[in-house]
Chains A and B, each alone.
Chain A
Amino acid sequence: MSKVRVLVGTRKGAFVLTSDGKRDKWDVSGPHFAGWEMYHLKGSPVDPNRIYASQSSGWFGQVVQRSDDGGQTWSPVGNKFAYEGVPGTHQWYDGTAHPWEFKRVWHLEPSLTDPDTVYAGIEDAAIFRSTDGGQNWSELPGLREHGSGPRWQPGAGGMCLHTILLDPSDPQRMYIAISAAGAFRTDDGGKTWQPINQGLHSQYIPDPKADVGHCVHHIAMHPSRPTTLFMQKHWDVMRSDNAGDHWHEISGNLPTDFGFAIDVHAHEPETIYVVPIKSDSEHFPLDGQLRVYRSRTGGNEWEPLTKGLPQSDCYVNVLRDAMAVDQLDSCGVYFGTTGGQVYVSPDAGDTWSPIVRDLPAVLSVEVQTIP
């Protein structure tokens, strides 16, 4: 029987949760790297034993860890992220020019074909690649050197490159998203990039329809339809059916369209999930009720999923990289909260239960489905 391995990054360490295909009994391993902020862990799609992890600390900076045995043992690999050339400046919060400075790795995206190749999305926003299992990192500078770079500005959480999507049908195509520059696409393996923000409308920036400057929180894609993208923006849930060339809003009947996480069902490319959050000034669910919303129509028509989730006095948040799906026949959906719970639904969202309740604040959740 297949099993699932859930990789959880928290403010104070990493945890590995494993279960068989029933997903009702769980083994909890951790904390790994206790006391460190674990922004993201992700396994290689071609070698599930190969897992990369971003470990960071305000005291000691950035470390990248690699496991070759499914998270049982780990080894530190390269942690030198040097921008190519003179990095220049971006906008600071007050609009002044501010030098690009490496702060941390937000997201690690292993290659779809080579376990030694992995991409890193960092703060201040840039994308790096390693082709030797994380030992050495090189920037793909065409993104940061896009002419709009000096106009990029950090979101409240920093100027982070937090989303990397690899197109399974075209190895030259990647999508990334930056808070608060927006979404970008490359069609030539990362040499050149173009902003893909047409159709986004952000009231909080001087030109609500600007080519860059949008606070994109997360983007999701179903691998069978790599030109269809779903976006949770700061406000608004959006969709593109032409690889980001144009977006349209699909918030529909959501009670609030602010939020961070968004994901797609493993087998139904028109079934998507979000966790509506009350507002950008109150980062918790509406009315103290933790509700995942599911659309089976690719957006606009949403249904609340509540069974097993707290429906009173719940004031946690679900961060942008803290939702994932497994690949089992009955698609499992997972998310972690800033209150330390990790929830699983083994039936595509119909019912939920906590795998763990009392971890440190959850920063990221990824799932591996292991044959």
Chain B
Amino acid sequence: MTTHRIRVELPAHLRNLAQVHGEVTLEVAAPLTLRTVLDALEARYPMLAGTIRDHGTQQRRAFLRFFACEEDISHQSPDTPLPEAIATAREPLLIIGAIAGG
């Protein structure tokens, strides 16, 4: 089975919650998609379950966005293959909290 060693960057509050510093490195079995990455992330850091996507619906939380290679992939199907640069860890998958306020 093919596995990908990838990089994920979390928002600061989720880094604190998961007690990690800097980027997270994950081993993810193919196919490499947003869904499989988030599954692997939550398996390794169970405290993140429910904080990025809703427990019940598995929908992305409204104030979070996913970026890959400078592209907002938040509205893509979670089963869309992620870019090669993510699969080879040349680029991190970014999970970003919206800047909200006024």
Contact = CB atoms under 8 A, between A and B. Distances in A.
B49 A80 contact: yes
Nearest to A57: B13
Q: Which of B11, B56, B64, B100 has the most CB of A within 10 A?
A: B56
A63 B51 CA distance: 8
B17 A76 contact: yes
A200 B16 CA distance: 46
B21 interface: no
Interface string B73-102: 000000000000000000000000110100
Nearest to A35: B13
Query: What is the interface residue range for chain B against chain A?
Result: 10 to 19
Given A58-B100, A59-B11, A59-B61, A80 B50 contact: yes
Interface in A89-142: 102
Interface of A: 34-36, 57-63, 76, 79-82, 102
9 contacts: A35-B13, A59-B63, A59-B98, A60-B13, A61-B50, A62-B50, A63-B51, A79-B50, A79-B51
A4 to B, nearest CB: 29
A355 to B, nearest CB: 26
Q: Which of B51, B61, B64 has the most CB of A within 10 A?
A: B51
A59 B52 CA distance: 8
A60 B51 contact: yes
A59 B13 contact: yes
Interface in B34-74: 47, 49-52, 54-56, 61, 63-64
B61 A60 contact: yes
A60 B16 CA distance: 12
A58 B13 CA distance: 12
B61 A61 contact: yes
B91 to A, nearest CB: 23
Contact of A63 (B47, B61, B63, B98): B47
Contacts of A57: 13
The DSSP consensus for interface residues of chain B is loop
B13 A80 contact: no
B12 to A, nearest CB: 8
A138 to B, nearest CB: 14
B48 to A, nearest CB: 9
B14 interface: yes
A251 B97 CA distance: 47
A59 B61 CA distance: 7
A63 B17 contact: yes
Contacts of A80: 49-50, 55
A60 B47 CA distance: 11
A257 B40 CA distance: 54
A291 B54 CA distance: 43
Nearest to B53: A61
A59 B56 contact: no
B51 A61 contact: yes
B65 to A, nearest CB: 11
Contacts of A62: 50
Contacts of B100: 58-59
B7 to A, nearest CB: 21
Given A59-B61, A60-B13, A61-B50, A82 B97 contact: no
A63 B18 CA distance: 12
A34 B16 CA distance: 10
A58 B63 contact: yes
Nearest to A33: B16
B97 A59 contact: yes
Contacts of A61: 50-51, 54, 61
Contacts of B61: 59-61
B11 A79 contact: no
Contacts of A79: 47, 49-51, 55
